[in-house]
Amino acid sequence: MPRYALKIEYDGAPFAGWQRQKDQPSVQEAVERALARLAPDLPAIAAAGRTDTGVHALGQVAHCDMGRDWDPFRLMEALNSHLRPDPVAVLAVARVDADFHARFSARERRYLFRLVSRRAPVTHDRGLVWQVRHGLDAEAMRAGAAHLLGRHDFTTFRATLCQAKSPVKTLDALEIETRDIPHGTEYRFHLRARSFLHSQVRSFVGTLERVGAGAWAPEDVKTALDARDRAACGPVCPPQGLYLAGVGYPEDPFA
């Protein structure tokens, strides 16, 4: 059966995450339902990452095996037609080798978190950012973030129900970008690693927000990290500002 890689964008608000759920809507279910319109009884699809409830994606990658050859552009168009009206779009389709696996072939995942600081409620980005009403010190947050870079035991920043075999991960990048917006500032957290623990990004951002607000010193992030204790983590921020921004492979299937 020919195998295809799908690059997928979605608004996570209506879904209980990527992974198929028994009694709740999921992004995986929406995509598989669209695929079933083209070829019934296909195997389940696999994705690079299982985003949680309310988390968005700009570049999720999944793969599927089709019963016949498809022109990638025509397959993309057909899937997008059948995905309506769900807030899910297939941005690109590529024919890949049979040994390509969206999850196990991936070499890195990139996440974006959008945090807005302003007094007035957000309107156009409602549901797409986490908003706080107080000011934040970007340089203090960057100083705190520096303690998280590299290979560490991230037990402190790992959800209690995380199913990963080990809390040891390597964080390759955590950059904080600032953008002026009307009457406020948007802070964009760009994170990159081979893989992440459950709730790790939201735990990082929630903790760094406390640093930016002045409630924590930057050095407190290292203290929390070294504690290897979930109770030492700062507040876990809400999911609506989090995006799976992209997935890296040894060779980009969509190049």
Active site (catalytic) residues: 52
Q: Where are the alpha helices (DSSP H) in 3-71?
A: 27-38
Specify the DSSP class assigned to residue 120: S
The answer to whether the bond into 43 is cis (omega within 30° of 0) is no
Work out the angle between the directed axes of helices 138-146 and 200-212 (0-180°, nearest 10): 130
With a CB cutoff of 8 Å and minimum separation 6, the contacts of 246 are 58, 59, 109, 110
Are 46 and 56 within 8 A, CB to CB? no
Tell me which residue has tokens 């983590």. 233
Q: Phi and psi dihedrals of 130, rounded to 5?
A: -95, 125
Residue 172 is inside which H or E element, if any? Answer: strand 168-181
For residue 132, list its beta bridge partners: 117
